[in-house]
Chains A and B, each alone.
Chain A
Amino acid sequence: EVQLLQSGGDLVQPGGSLRLSCAASGFTFSNYAMTWVRQAPGKGLEWVSTISGSGGYTFYADSVKGRFTISRDNSKNTLFLQLNSLRAEDTAVYYCAKGINVDYGNWFDSWGQGTLVTVSS
């Protein structure tokens, strides 16, 4: 059974940093692209970033480019999202999601439970 267990959400001040983690099990982690999707309170889903199975390709939404960094440790079956220069509009529940192929992910067939990031002074 695929499981994605997230951690790292917290309350952080504007301009601060945070690192989110997503521990994967139940599948061959390096064979699949992984993605972060966020959802602001009461709002819809927003794609944030995708990383290929090898980690060689990364893609970012314009809203986070230059501030967020996606990475993965295939030896530890773990996905990361480093959030820097945080803004109030980054406040959201962040989900990690498993793609269906190694390069781009396409659609997402399994999701983590979500972790809340709140940016406020």
Chain B
Amino acid sequence: EIVMTHSPATLSLSPGERATPSCRASQSVSTNLAWYQQKPGQAPRLLIYGASTRATGVPARFSGSGSGTEFTLTISSLQSEDFAVYYCQQYNNWPYTFGQGTKLEIK
């Protein structure tokens, strides 16, 4: 199974700052990677697929990059509603796997 590892586990930033949580795959997943946002008590929400394509309705401040084993989600200027947990998911191989998440908290 492909192991997905987030770094850092927790990211403490202030509104207006730039956030760049990362995700590493234990083997290449090409660009078959998605990013999700989850707020407490809510279901995950799709942000990015294909490593860099924004899902419908996702604000332009969210962007994704990377291929192979290294991926980054960038939030260009943090808004209050962006403080949440972010998960990557690979769909290149079965079983599909998620990372353990990066918690983005207010500094």
Contact = CB atoms under 8 A, between A and B. Distances in A.
B91 A104 contact: yes
A44 B98 contact: yes
Given A44-B99, A44-B101, A107-B34, A113 B94 contact: no
A107 B44 contact: no
Q: Is the interface of B mostly helix, strand, loop or mixed?
A: loop
Interface string A89-104: 0000001000010001
A100 B43 CA distance: 17
A56 B99 CA distance: 29
Contacts, number: 57
B43 A113 contact: yes
Interface residues of B, number: 22
A59 B87 CA distance: 21
A44 B95 contact: no
Given A46-B98, A107-B91, A109-B55, 10 more contacts: A43-B100, A44-B99, A45-B87, A47-B96, A105-B91, A107-B34, A109-B46, A109-B49, A112-B43, A114-B43
Interface of B: 32, 34, 36, 38, 43-46, 49, 55-56, 87, 89, 91, 94-101
26 contacts: A35-B96, A37-B44, A44-B98, A44-B100, A44-B101, A45-B36, A45-B44, A45-B87, A47-B95, A47-B97, A50-B96, A59-B94, A62-B95, A95-B43, A104-B91, A107-B46, A107-B49, A107-B91, A108-B34, A108-B89, A109-B46, A109-B49, A110-B46, A111-B43, A111-B45, A114-B43
